[in-house]
Amino acid sequence: MRSLLGLLLTIAFAVGFVERVVSAEPSDTAQITVPATNRPLSFNRDIRPILTDRCFACHGLDANTVEAGLRLDVREAALEGGAIVPGDAESSEIFLRITSDDDDLVMPPSELHKPLSDAEIDLVRRWIQEGAPYEPHWAYTPLPRNGVPSSVNTTWGENWIDQFVARRLQDASVTPSPQADPTTLIRRLSFDLTGLPPTPEEVEAFKQDNSNESYERLIDRLLSSSRFGERMAIYWLDLVRYADTVGYHGDQNVSHSPYRDYVIDAFNSNMPYDQFVREQLAGDLLPNPTIDQLVASGYNRLNQTTEEGGAQPKEYLSIYFADRVRNVSQVFMGATVGCAQCHDHKYDPYTAKDFYSLGAFFADIEERGKYSQRERPPQIPVPNEEQQAQLDALRLKVAEAEANLESITQKQLAFLPEWEAQAIESINQSKFRTEEHTWVDDQLAAGGSKSGEWNHVTADQHPVHSGETSRRQTGKGVVQHLFTNAKEPIEVKAGTELFAWVYLDPQSPPKTIMLQWHGGPDNSSGWDHRAFWGDDKVGFGAKPQSWHGHKRMGDLPETGKWIRLSVAADDVGFAPGKTVHGMAFTQFDGIVHWDQAGWNETDGFPSEIRAALLADVKARTKNQIKQLRDYFVEHEPLITQQAKELKRARTQVSEFENSIPTMVISRAVAPREIRILDRGNWMDESGEIVQPAIPEFLGTLQTSNRRATRLDLANWLCDSENVLTARTMVNRLWYLMFGRGICSSVDDLGGQGTFPSHPELLDHLAVEFIESGWDIQHLLKQIAMSATYRQASNGSPELNALDPFNELFARQGRFRVSAEMVRDTALMISGLLVEEIGGPSVKPYQPEGYYSQLNFPRRNYVPDQGDNQYRRGVYTHWQRTFLHPMLKAFDAPSREECTAIRARSNTPLQALTLLNDPTFIEAATMFASRIMREGGTTVDERIEWAYRTAVSRPIDAVVAEELRTIQTEHLRHYAQEPDLAKALVSVGEQSSTTALDPAEWAAWTSVARVILNLHETINRY
């Protein structure tokens, strides 16, 4: 049998896989490739990139590191020292240095290995000869409201975008490429706007009517599809570094999926971009914020966090601070303010003060430097519509049970006097007398193992209840002393009561006191026998409802006097026959004296209830009256039965709420102090204290002397006069539609970025974006309707040589689609794709043992079953440190930092993934089953159908012949090896649902695997 790899290579050559692919992305040094010797010089376009790359590191904006006192970023400073003599290059020191042959004089220094090219030297010479004019950096200039240039090509163009492109093409003497054929256009639009290929039926319909009106209807249909939001979310989640795990140390799971769903819904509803920005930066600060707005505010909490035991909280708060500044500036401003963390920015006017002032906007966010296990408060539950309906129904049952309990309680309370009389008679007739047993007093009578500080104090200076000493306990937070392994454990009987005497210091009372008992080494409940008084500050055993492991007993006892705390053993989980082996005396804050503790056997009534019953009715205190009522309510059969019904209803609500995804959100608290950290050192507290402020060179916020908030920052970003926000976003939208931005450095519009190929077009798009009401779909439609977008992507050899990076946009881009889209395409072609919006992240097949090095805790990856296995890639569980191998192979980022441009590699690993990943094998087997059932009766019919289904066009004869050969040879092979055939078609969950001849099915699976591996299947042209 011919090797599958050999056949793949044959097919690859046949369909043009091994072709000279022109990358859509520029290299780091690429700027303008079209000859411009006769074009007037532009400082921003021609000179600034040279100075930024070769000079500004030593002679630029960071005044603290300027060499020889020379700054070249400021014209006056450059002229003052004679570095530049306008009109006379030969007298200008800068020109003499860049042309010097002396290693001691040449600039940049020879050890940097960055000499200027002859073309660059000529540009510098021409610039100086022309007077060495400077220009403000293009991205920091006001957005002009200029008109559209007059048409220079009356035979080409569909809208105003084309007039800007045509003017540039005319300057370069370049002709635009012809319009792409209808099949290419609909595939391009489908990938760009939905992330999925079109169906054969959609392609055929568009081929029958590809008029301008039909094309516009196609754009509208794709923009209104729910798939649009999923496609756009893939890119946005890269920007904001969304993931399902915390990143640092053990990279544990954290619930962020409601934020992802918010982003999808925002794009699908065409939420105005300014509202989108406000809700993410300051959703919690809006008036009466909705759940969606609170979820949106979770953007501020998407940074990596840690729960490592040895982490320094203050250090990590500074790490989170810097992360947030980097991300906010890159996402919304296209700026690298993060470079000013340790010193002033070397290439842009951002100072270290700007860095810390920008971060100070977020100093009000409630967060911790180190979190406890799997907790990232504040968090809120975020139910979907179906879950909300179920929750409402369960809460209605709780309300009904509460009403029933209240009704029954009021009815039964009429029998309280009768019960009291019967109880008093029972006590009087009882021959049983309470006998008190001491476990702890001046000595530990029970024996056992002590822990904590047992600080015995005497009556001469401290309160003492029994014996000669009490135990004084003080501290901040939770403090306790305890003992275990009692030599004489308590044997619990029906009337056992546990007690301890306590004295709360009136000057420094605790917030909480708690008694805990231990069930012994043979009791799995351990310390889960607790009673507490006061605030719920001691978290041991805490649950939403009171239970025997965290039993609420009421308010703190009265201070300044000895109080006997008593608890029925049964109330803290000790049934008759159980034994008690230890006791703990616990408090939160304050000063407490503890004394005699032990147990007594009673006639069934707790001591305080017995005392209240035996007291004269008229002499009972208000507290005793309340105690009798509460005791009656807790033990009356009809009431307790209804109380159990209420408990069950509440438990159902609690369990259901626990199944609802939660989302970390922003919550404003008192802002913490922010200082400029010298060289970014988090331990240095000597720096200047700063207040929230925008970068100084971009202006100031008018807040009437109040502290500026995150909402003020968001409003500034979305102001129509802001020079960065609109430029940044429209450049990225253009990137999504062409594979490169008008400014190719999509992640950086600053000094280290590239000059826009069409600056006037970029500015006009930004103005259009703002004046449209920040309408993303409107702008995308404008781009898609243009003749520029509709061009073919296969440029002529001459055009490819002249403009290899497609800077002129004289053709469309061609590139592999994102990792998620590669997977989605295979699932869609196979018929496996399950389209369902939102919900928790899902786990597709993954190599066994891939998480073996993932610790704290160790994890066993369990792939999802059923529909979740076939959801779109945007819903895939995103493990930052162990990204799903398929996503990693196709260049998806880990999302530890903002990613505005994904790398696009072309590696053998990708082909191996498409051939061997269980998802793609299963997709191939199910595609094969479709081929056999839907593709016709003959081999040729099936091959034609399969190819058209995958790549939307008829098959070439040479490709058809190769696929026919694969089918024939593999059918012969699998007929002789039936076990191999069964093994191949048994991969995945869906194989068992299809009854086909294994050998034939395996042969067609081989054909399907080749087709799913084709360059044309996973690329957008």
- Tell whether the model's pLDDT for residue 12 goes beyond 80: no
Statement: residue 146 has pLDDT above 90: no
CB 286 within 8 A of CB 668: no
Q: Are residues 398 and 369 in the same domain?
A: no
Where a domain ends, among 802, 826, 846? 802
- Tens of pLDDT, residue by residue over 413-450, are 999 999 999 999 888 876 555 678 999 999 898 889 99
Contacts for 448 with CB less than 8 Å, ≥ 6 apart: 483, 484, 485, 486, 487, 581, 582
607 closest CA partner among 571, 566, 570: 566
Name the percent of the chain lying above pLDDT 70.
95
30 pLDDT above the threshold of 50: no
Tell me the pLDDT tens digit for each residue of 866-891. Answer: 999 999 999 999 999 999 999 999 99
Same domain, 450 and 524: yes
Domain-embedded: residue 869: no
Confidence of residue 731 (pLDDT cuts 50, 70, 90): very high
Contacts of residue 13, Cβ cutoff 8 Å, sequence gap at least 6: none
Please give the Cα distance from 247 to 781 (Å, whole number): 37
Taking a C-beta distance cutoff of 8 angstroms, is the pair 601, 493 a contact? yes
993: in domain? yes
What is the per-residue pLDDT across 671-684, written as a single tens digit (0 to 9) for each? Answer: 999 999 999 999 99
Residue 760 lies in a domain: yes
Contact indicator for 779, 160 with CB cutoff of 8 Å: no
Short-list 551, 553, 548, CA closest to 564: 553
pLDDT at 31 over 50: no
Reply yes or no on whether the pLDDT at 36 is more than 50: no
Instruction: Write out the H or E segment, with its range, that includes residue 976.
Output: helix 957-976
- Quick one: 409 and 443 in the same domain? no
The DSSP secondary structure of 5-35, one letter per residue, reads HHHHHHHHHHHTSSS-PPPSS--TT----S-
Terminal C-alpha separation, the chain: 34
- Per-residue pLDDT of 441-466, as tens digits, reads 998 988 899 999 999 999 999 999 99
pLDDT tens digits for range 476-487: 999 999 999 999
Q: Which of 767, 802, 837 is the last residue of a domain?
A: 802
Question: Which of 755, 780, 802 is the C-terminal boundary of a domain?
Answer: 802
Residue 626 has what pLDDT? 93
The partner residues of 876 in beta bridges, in order of sequence, read: 842
Q: Tell me whether residue 561 is in a domain.
A: yes
One domain for residues 586 and 456 = yes
263 in a domain, yes or no? no
pLDDT, mean over the chain: 92
- For residues 59-80, give the mean pLDDT: 87
Domain that holds residue 926: 916-1017
Q: Identify the weakest region by mean pLDDT among 247-261, 593-607, 831-845, 920-934.
A: 593-607
In Å, how far are 224, 334, 512, 686, 1020 from 212, measured between CA atoms?
18, 35, 74, 66, 22
Torsions phi, psi of 513, nearest 5? -125, 150
Structure tokens at 250: 């053990």
pLDDT average, residue stretch 936-960: 97
pLDDT at 607 over 80: no
Does residue 213 sit within a domain? yes
**Domain tally, the chain:** 6
Residue 522: is its pLDDT beyond 80?
no
Looking at the fold, whether 458 and 566 belong to one and the same domain comes out as: yes
Q: Could you tell me if residue 895 is left (phi over 0), alpha (psi between -120 and 50 degrees) or otherwise beta?
A: left
CATH number for the domain harbouring residue 51: 1.10.760
pLDDT(19) > 90: no
Least confident of 1-10, 260-269, 380-389: 1-10
Do 636 and 676 share a domain, yes or no?
no
Same domain, 369 and 400: no
Query: pLDDT tens digits for 317-357?
Result: 999 999 999 999 999 999 999 999 999 999 999 999 999 99
Are 451 and 471 in contact by the 8 Å Cβ rule? The answer is no
- Collapsing DSSP to helix, strand or coil, 663 comes out as strand
The model's confidence at residue 22, banded by pLDDT at 50, 70 and 90, is: very low
Q: What does the buried/exposed string (b/e) look like for 385-418 if buried means 16 or more CB atoms within 10 Å of the residue's CB? A: eebeebbeebbebbeebeeebeebbeebeeeeee
And the tokens for 240? 């904001």
Which stretches of 776-868 are assigned E, i.e. beta strand? 815-816
Please tell me the predicted confidence (pLDDT) of residue 5: 39
In a domain, 871, yes or no: no
Please indicate, yes or no, whether residues 673 and 743 belong to a single structural domain of this protein.
no
Domain shared by 408 and 441, yes or no = no
pLDDT tens digits along 972-1008: 999 999 999 999 999 999 876 678 999 999 999 999 9
Helix (H, G, I), strand (E, B) or coil at 434: coil
- The answer on 398 and 375 residing in a single domain is no
The predicted structure's pLDDT at residue 37 = 52
Give domain status of residue 55, yes or no.
yes
pLDDT at 827 over 90: yes
**Nearest Cα residue to 343 out of 677, 673, 67, 73:** 677
C-alpha count within 13 angstroms, C-beta hemisphere, residue 51: 30
Co-location of 354 and 416 in the same domain = no
**Range scoring the smallest mean pLDDT among 9-13, 167-171, 345-349, 359-363:** 9-13
Least confident of 38-52, 557-571, 889-903, 924-938: 38-52
Does residue 786 surpass a pLDDT of 90? yes
Average pLDDT, integer, range 795-802 = 93
Mean pLDDT, to the nearest integer, of 707-716? 98
**Do 558 and 458 belong together in one domain?**
yes
CA–CA dist 177, 153 (Å, integer):
13
